Amino acid sequence: MGLGEAVIVAGLGCRKGVSAAEVESALEAALAHNRLSPQQLKRIAVPALKGNEAGIIAAAAARGVLPTLIAQVALEAASPHTLTRSARSMEAMNVHSVAEAAALAGAGPNARLLAPRIAVGSVTCALAEGDNGS
């Protein structure tokens, strides 16, 4: 991938103790909804406090990527640009949608959401497109 090419980033929101299978199901659903191949996914972005979740780590490793940890301040900065408004996300993380904010923050300053987040079980997933150099 050359400099300046678009990169697809999945943002995840989930409850504590999520399994790799649950994360994978949400990733697959979001990719299918947006008509993207699994190979197009280049990053998985999660709130920094989810960085030790075994299910997220395992799902990311199975795809050959490391989770990109997003600081709370970056999630909050991306929140006004989300498409979904969740009372649960506001209460837990002070953002409208954890998955959408993580995807936007992980994809960089010129990122755009491809669609509203998708919920599969206890996992939400949103895809954003950003610049490779982000």
Tens of each residue's pLDDT in the chain, 134 residues: 445 568 999 999 998 999 999 999 999 999 999 999 999 999 999 999 998 999 999 999 999 988 999 999 999 999 999 999 998 888 989 999 999 999 999 999 899 999 999 999 999 999 999 986 54
The residues facing 44 across adjacent strands are 10, 67
Query: Residues 6, 111: contact at Cβ < 8 Å?
Result: no
Contacts of 95 (CB under 8 A, 6+ apart): 75, 76, 78, 79, 82, 89, 101
Q: Does 3.40.50.300 match the CATH number of domain 6-131?
A: no
Give me the pLDDT at residue 83, please.
94
Give me the pLDDT at residue 6, please.
84
Question: Where are the domains positioned within the chain?
Answer: 6-131
